[in-house]
Amino acid sequence: MITRIVKLTISPSKKEEFKSIFFANKNHIKGFDGCLHVELLQDKKYDNVFFTYSKWEGEKSIEKYRQSKLFGGVWKKTKTCFCAPPEAWSTDELFSL
User: Quick check: is 28 in a domain?
Assistant: yes
**Number of domains within the chain:** 1
pTM for this one? 0.93
Percentage of the chain exceeding pLDDT 70: 100
Task: Write the DSSP assignment of 28-91 as a string of letters.
Answer: HHHTSTTEEEEEEEE-SS-TTEEEEEEEES-HHHHHHHHTSHHHHHHHHHHHTTBSS--EEEEE
User: Quick check: is 36 in a domain?
Assistant: yes
User: Quick check: is 97 in a domain?
Assistant: no
> What pLDDT was estimated at residue 96?
85
Give residue 49's pLDDT band: very low, low, confident or very high (50, 70, 90). very high
As a whole number, the mean pLDDT across the chain is 96
Domain range for residue 33?
2-92
Percentage of the chain exceeding pLDDT 90: 96
